[in-house]
Amino acid sequence: MRYYELLYIVNPNLEDDKVKNIIDEIGNEINEYKVSIINHNLWGKKRLAYPIKNNKYGTYILLQFSAEQFDFLKEFERSLILKKSVIRHQLVRLDEEPAKVENIELIVDKTDSIEDENLEMLENDSIDNLEDEEDADDTEGIDETEKTELAEKDDKSDIGESESEQEIKEENK
Amino acid sequence: MTFTTKKKYCYFKENGITFVDYKDVKLLRRFVTDQGKIIPRRVTGSSAKIHRQLVRAIKQSRNIALMPFTNVSVDG
């Protein structure tokens, strides 16, 4: 009997339902190998220490399980690599049996998790305005003029309008 | 002229920690410079056994993007 811990990062742009699907998918997949799952918790969106595949944020999910046989792990890890929504994963063997965690807040550092404002921005952002996201993240380096620009952008419901406006402003500069 | 050096002590021994977890970023930050480099054992004073675990934990933590490989910010 060995205990394992898998921490994997899922693409942050996915909706909550899709993330749940992935959790179920991986849970079912590992269940086929006669494995008993101890914990399968969603940590939530966190800022990555460095960008992975151009993602600044990531949804962390922790899976702890015990296994009798170990030869399936290679196969299982390969299937994780092939999943496009899983950006990064790390499988670690534990020396002792991990405790069952019901309250996820115990592990997740509150200071590290993203504030609600940033989360909203993440959901609104598409690949087209990645630069805008970078501006929004680095709140310290933003000039007052840029701040007003951002505020205006938020007010505008139509994205096309605000973009064209910004282009004009850049030309003026 | 006398030199008085602050007594070094093992943080883990003081606090009774026997296992270093790679997910505990708050703890690992203490053993890393601002740039993200691992601080040598002769500076932190941690025991050899713990330091080996610590190095491993920090490297695992970096791999899963909980900690940075480097924090050097490049302008421009």
Q: Is residue B2 part of a domain?
A: no
Chain B hits for A92, CB-CB cut-off 8 Å, are 22, 60
Residues whose CB is less than 8 angstroms from the CB of residue A132 and which lie 6 or more positions away in sequence, other chains included: A125, A153
Asked, for residue B51, whether it belongs to a domain, the answer is yes
Indicate if A10 and A88 belong to the same structural domain: yes
Q: Measured between beta carbons, which residues in chain B are less than 8 angstroms from residue A7?
A: 23, 64
CATH of the domain at A81: 3.30.70.60
| Contact present, A90 and A7 (Cβ < 8 Å) | yes
Clarify whether residues A93 and A152 are in a common domain: no
Q: Which domain holds residue A78?
A: 2-97
A145 within some domain: yes
Domain residues for the domain of B48 are: 11-63
Domain count, chain A: 2
Domain-embedded: residue B5: no
DSSP 8-state symbol, B31: G
Q: Does residue A106 sit within a domain?
A: no
Using CA coordinates, name the residue in chain B closest to A86: B64
Percent of chain A clearing pLDDT 70 (strictly above): 58
The residue that leads in pLDDT, A133 or A97, is: A97
ipTM: 0.75
- B60: contact with A, CB 8 A cutoff: yes
The answer to whether residue B29 sits within a structural domain is yes
Instruction: Give the phi and the psi of residue A62 in degrees, each rounded to 5.
Output: -110, 130
Instruction: Using a CB–CB cutoff of 8 Å, tell me whether B67 touches chain A.
Output: yes
**Are A75 and A142 in the same domain?**
no
pTM of the entire structure?
Answer: 0.65
Residue A31: which pLDDT band, with cuts at 50, 70 and 90? confident
The verdict on A54 and A86 lying in the same domain is yes
Q: Is the pLDDT of residue B4 over 70?
A: yes
Run of H or E including B22: none
For B10-66, write each residue's pLDDT tens digit: 777 777 778 888 988 888 998 999 888 999 998 888 889 899 999 999 999 999 999
In a domain, residue B30? The reply is yes
